[in-house]
Chains A and B, each alone.
Chain A
């Protein structure tokens, strides 16, 4: 829910309640005021009628509004105000009146004076006033709502722009973040907090990046030096035992080097240190890598079946795309048997690579894990790297086995 929506919703509910309450209270209040005023008016008119009678002459009579009756003896009626219904002969309908009837003794004669006022007039007035109150309040609220919306556009525009800036910000670009300043105190504080936060993260990020790169370089150098020394020792006149040990140490160091390189690669992928690059057609990467792998396929007499049914295009760093494909191919070769086969099917939304191979106990859950390897010779980082690359590119990878071992890469809909 957007901020303004939330605010408006919070406005709207109490306002509707207030509107109903105020309208109804207003209605009843007005009604009682108007009726009591009508009564007062009737009473004051009655004095005028009395004066008229005292002056003598013809009795005033104006039905249904005014009726005066002369009585010989004292009438039993008391003075009272009530509602009466009187038949209007002209319009053939009953009309409601407020009636004030009173007895008066004027110059020795008794009179019954009845004064009436149409209730419809009162009711109409009350309803009109209530509607007026309702319209007034509603329009006041509407104006408030519109002005809030306009204010939102101006007040929040800086906020929105900053939000977009932060969304699009990348440490890798190496540039500083520039936030639009606002004259609102809270936004100012938010900006300064975010700027500080990003600067700190940027420093940490750079430190980590430099560390990763340095660690790579620093480890490679002693490993290289050690290997060179051992290679030179092999050239000396040494006995079988020493020879074998030196070769074994060299092989261990080689594995250590590979492990170091793969761990650093993983760290770099996890730290998102690879620029997104451009749109890569994986079909082409596969073709290129297959060409590179051909000698190995030939040695193992592997049958290759490639079905390219439309381009699988993905925005990816070129180096990572090569790592992805070559790790998948390596895996398909390494765990294959002699004279086995590799099948690769590529479609626009998904691709899979299947190979013949030995039975293993690995499942979709465990196969991608770090250091889980079906083969004691390898460290089991290759598929972990594949999964990491897929993860950061919104791809889903899964493993299944029936007669073939298959890895399927599917494009995920963005946002899922």
Chain B
């Protein structure tokens, strides 16, 4: 998968770049409009992460060009939370998703994977981790071939874990993924705990391993190591 990251802040750019490279993406970095323009004219990308605010041009202009010349690419807008207009305009102009700063890298990962699934890039519908298989098209989950019935939140939780396997996820990151902006509204940590326990129980009942490791009571990791 080839990803173009357009972001004017060098620190963010390298952080996102390093993270996605670690996730086995081929990353191209562009720190301004002209660099992005240049890259777009030379290569084809599967995913483009686009910051709207650029020092030498408007990211929305770039978006128009991408829609014209790179029809296949999935576009995720990186926006500042307050610039609602950019968000709306961006989606109107054909961006597939938006993510507001600051965001968790694991969340970005989930968004990219979701977008790839939506775009049906080479067999990304089936996600497997040892004995656990998830068909994202039909939302069908099996453990050792046995069907496991999950609630929506349990399913979202499992998918988030599987996409970010071997990564440490804080409770906050999980809460934000499951409840978006409303994550801080109520006792979400208790709810996470409940959903997590139910998920563990259901997987074990179907004969699966418990891959969810608790880390010092503050985070989780989905791993078989």
Contact = CB atoms under 8 A, between A and B. Distances in A.
Interface stretch (A127-135, A220-228, A343-351, A390-398): A220-228
Interface string B170-185: 1011000011011011
B80 interface: yes
Range for the number of chain A residues in contact with chain B: 35 or more
Contacts of B19: 228, 232
Contact of A296 (B12, B82, B182): B182
A251 B15 CA distance: 19
B202 interface: no
Interface string B71-95: 0000000001111100000000000
Contact of A216 (B80, B106, B172, B181): B80
A243 B11 contact: no
Contacts of B106: 231
Nearest to A231: B105
A235 B53 CA distance: 30
A216 B104 CA distance: 19
Interface stretch (A15-23, A90-98, A182-190, A261-269): A261-269
Nearest to B8: A221
B6 interface: no
A295 B105 CA distance: 24
Interface centre among B15, B168, B172, B191 (most CB of A within 10 A): B168
Contacts of A220: 80-81, 101-102
A401 to B, nearest CB: 20
Given A224-B103, A243-B215, A243-B219, A213 B15 contact: no
A213 B79 CA distance: 12
Contact of B9 (A225, A229, A378): A225
A11 interface: no
Nearest to A221: B9
Contact of A243 (B178, B182, B185, B216): B216
A334 B185 CA distance: 5
Interface in A240-271: 240, 243-244, 247, 250-251, 253-254, 257-258, 261, 264-265, 268
Given A213-B82, A221-B101, A293 B216 contact: no
A232 B181 CA distance: 23
Contacts of A232: 15, 18-19, 105
Secondary structure at the A interface, as helix, strand, loop or mixed, is: helix
A167 interface: no
Given A220-B102, A221-B101, A296-B186, A229 B82 contact: no
Contact of B82 (A225, A265, A378): A265
B167 interface: yes
A402 to B, nearest CB: 24
Nearest to B105: A231
B12 A221 contact: yes
Contacts of A244: 216, 218
Contact of B182 (A223, A257, A330): A330
A250 B172 contact: yes
A336 B186 CA distance: 9
A48 to B, nearest CB: 108
A231 B104 contact: yes
A299 interface: yes
5 contacts: A232-B15, A247-B170, A247-B218, A295-B182, A333-B182
Interface of B: 9, 11-12, 15-16, 18-19, 53, 80-84, 101-106, 153, 167-168, 170, 172-173, 178-179, 181-182, 184-188, 191, 215-216, 218-219
